[in-house]
A = this chain, B = another copy of it.
Amino acid sequence: MKISLNDKNMLAKTIGSKHGLTDEDLASIKPEIPRVLDEVEALRAGGQETFFDLPYQQDEARRIKRAANAIAKQCDNFVVLGIGGSALGTTAVHAALRHPFWNLLAKKQRHGRPRLFVLDNVDPDWLAAFKDTVNLKRTVFNVVTKSGSTSETMAQFLHFRDALGPKYAKNIIVTTDPHEGLLRELVNKMPPAKQYESFEVPPGVGGRFSVMSAVGLLPLAVVGVNIERFLAGARAMDAACRKPTLDENPALRCATLLYLAHTRKGKGLTVMMPYSQRLREIADWFRQLLAESLGKKLNRAGDTVHVGLTPIKALGVTDQHSQVQLYAEGPFDKVIIFVRAKEFDKKLPIPKGRPPIQGLEYLGGKTFNRLIDVEERATEVALAKAHRPSYTITLPKVTPETVGELLHMLEMQTVMISALYKINAFDQPGVEEAKDFTYGLMGRAGYEHKAAEFKKLVGK
């Protein structure tokens, strides 16, 4: 395992016992730990939730990589039609591991790989604008929906299938359930020669835990991410996440910190603040993971609990000029998770200037690497001095392995927090109501009662 954790600024001895965790707080959670670990192992063994297995599916990864290399050769643009868990992991890992201005590069600078678009919204202006930007004939559309029936994605599918026309039908690639759902049925009904190329989301893998399935791996491999090293990182982390103690098991440690900060110190807002432009979208992916997994009305016993940690995406150093005022002086309701890279790929100098500018001597002759590192540490310490808890995850460098480690740790941690709250991490019953109203208002058969209910509620 390459990434490391420093949680000194979570502790009472650093930030005081009103906001920091005391030895008693930490001791109080110890009896829960065997239960939490047992529950995770039971889930793993039960075979219902199968995201645990994804890092080990190396044959599948090799198949995906071969297919991806062939696809990459056929197109200039690769487009994910998907939303939520079908989109966020791809965006996050792409941003972390490919050139930050990928779509602006010449094809040669991209080593012949296509541009990547993730169209995770149904805004008509945005989708129309996208069509101005690409040559559809040279564009492959990857329709990603596990259920095969997500409204937004299926509407996009209908639109772009029509825009491509029968001649370019082969520009459509499908990632969905291996057996179930509209999209799989559609593929199965096509004559073999005309069938869309298709990939599988293993049945027990939910959207927000799917980045290491074909959902994420296919588009990532198409743009040249080393998915094998990415999975290797996840496997290294997985081994650590089965260790029995807080000292050895980073997911367990983070889960415990966040749970205790919430339940013992009233800090229910979880800010993830990477000091790295490339890791920025990981905070967005984490937002879904935390919000959908832990924001629950009922616990597993059926009691009404309305729990949840509210994730907040931030970015260092940028948000020092936007959010840190609030984090330092506002309500004591947040934990900040700093994420940093010990080393960047490039070293970028801050020249002295000829002649040096008076008042900037402290910058000239240094590097941006030093500046961003110093600012991160300064912010950590300034927040700790203001009695604000934080912990820091350090990646030695942003690589496929370390990103794989980080994502898997965050997934494991989320499952462990759900065990602490005694809630189900894998469902999202709270989104059904809006979905059903949407069906009703769009005139879907069987949802007439929801249209009627909507009218009645709006009339109030």
Cα separation A433 to B357 with both chains bound (whole Å): 24
A88/B322 contact (C-beta < 8 A), A129-B100, A363-B151 known: yes
Give chain A interface residues in 87-145, CB to chain B under 8 Å. 87-88, 99-101, 103-105, 109, 120-130, 132-133
Q: A85: CB under 8 A from chain B?
A: yes
Complex CA distance for A201 and B417, rounded to whole angstroms? 48
Question: Do B368 and A329 touch across chains, with their CB atoms under 8 A apart?
Answer: no
CB-defined contacts of A344 to chain B, threshold 8 Å: 123-125
Does A56 reach chain B (CB closer than 8 Å)? no
CB closest chain-B residue, reference A100? B129
Report A239 CB to chain B, min CB distance, Å. 29
- Determine if A154 is an interface residue (Cβ-Cβ < 8 Å): yes
* Chain B residue nearest to A290 in the complex (CB): B326
Interface: A193 (CB within 8 A): no
Specify which chain B residues have a CB less than 8 angstroms from the CB of A372 in the assembled complex.
122-124
Min C-beta distance of A359 to chain B, whole Å: 5
Question: Does A374 sit at the interface, judged by CB under 8 A?
Answer: yes
Residue of B121, B129, B310, B361 touching A445 (CB-CB under 8 A) = B361
* Nearest CB of B to A66, in Å: 29
Distance in Å: Cβ of A305 to nearest Cβ of chain B: 9
Which of the candidate stretches A26-34, A36-44, A217-225, A313-321 sits at the interface with the other chain?
A313-321
Provide the bound-state CA to CA distance between A268 and B267, in Å.
13
Stretch from A67-75, A292-300, A404-412 that touches the partner: A292-300
B322:A152 contact, CB within 8 angstroms: no
Q: Which of A170-178, A247-255, A330-338 contacts B (4 or more CB under 8 A)?
A: A330-338
Collect the chain B residues with CB atoms within 8 Å of residue A325's CB. 291-292, 295-296, 428-431
Q: Which of A45-53, A156-164, A226-234 is near enough to bind chain B?
A: A156-164
Q: How far apart sit A87 and B318, CA to CA, in the bound complex (Å)?
A: 10
Judge whether B310 and A313 touch: CB under 8 Å.
no
> A278-B123, A329-B295, A431-B328 given as contacts; is B158 within 8 A of A130 (CB)?
no
Give the complex CA separation of A347 and B128 in angstroms. Answer: 8
Main SS at interface, chain A: helix
Q: Is A346 touching B121 in the complex (CB atoms < 8 A)?
A: no
* Chain B min CB distance to A327 (Å): 8
Whether A167 is near chain B, meaning CB under 8 Å from some CB there, is: no
| A434 adjacent to B379 (CB under 8 Å) | yes
Interface flag for A264 (CB, 8 Å): no
Task: Tell me, rounded to whole Å, the shortest Cβ–Cβ distance linking A414 to chain B.
Answer: 13
Instruction: Select one of B295, B306, B321, B386 contacting A83, CB under 8 A.
Output: B321
CB distance from A444 to the nearest CB of B (A): 4
**A389 CA to B361 CA, complexed, in Å:** 52
Contacts of A454 in B (CB 8 A): 377-378, 381
With A158-B353, A310-B312 given, can you name 18 additional A-B contacts, CB distance below 8 Å? A84-B318, A84-B320, A85-B321, A101-B130, A105-B133, A109-B132, A124-B347, A124-B348, A158-B350, A161-B351, A291-B330, A295-B329, A308-B331, A324-B431, A381-B437, A381-B457, A381-B458, A383-B434
Q: List 19 A-B contacts (CB under 8 A).
A: A123-B344, A124-B344, A124-B346, A124-B372, A125-B398, A126-B278, A292-B325, A308-B326, A310-B326, A310-B330, A310-B333, A329-B430, A362-B443, A363-B442, A371-B442, A374-B441, A378-B435, A378-B454, A383-B434
Top 7 A-B pairs, shortest CB-CB distance: A84-B321, A295-B326, A308-B330, A362-B444, A378-B437, A295-B330, A328-B430
